[in-house]
Amino acid sequence: MPKTNEMPKINEGGCQYIKAATDAIKGAGSMRDLYVAIYGVQPTRYQYQTFINRLNPSRANPGTDMLGACVENLPSLHDLTLKEFFGIGSTKK
């Protein structure tokens, strides 16, 4: 692979899936309550801002580790199917 000074382009093909997933997570409660439910402690200001950014689809694309931690620790997500979680087949975009 040739070296380049350009940042690689973000693949925007699946943006609707990450938006649906982060919307499902954020629908489970306030951001501070979500942080405490996932990590078990109150966040510092820096940790809180980082957490908010990780769940903002226009700023980040949370990895499966983050999505898994959210689903594991947020009971309201336990019964969602993958189709529901990722908004597949829904009319919302």
Q: How many residues does the chain have?
A: 93
The answer to whether the CB of 15 falls within 8 A of the CB of 62 is no
d(CA 54, CA 22): 9
At residue 3, the pLDDT reads 59
pLDDT value of position 11: 58
Answer yes or no: are the C-beta atoms of 51 and 43 closer than 8 Å.
Answer: yes
Q: Which residues of the chain have pLDDT under 50?
A: 93
What integer pLDDT is reported at residue 31 of this predicted model? 95
**All residues at 6 or more sequence positions from 8 whose CB lies less than 8 Å from its CB, including other chains:** none
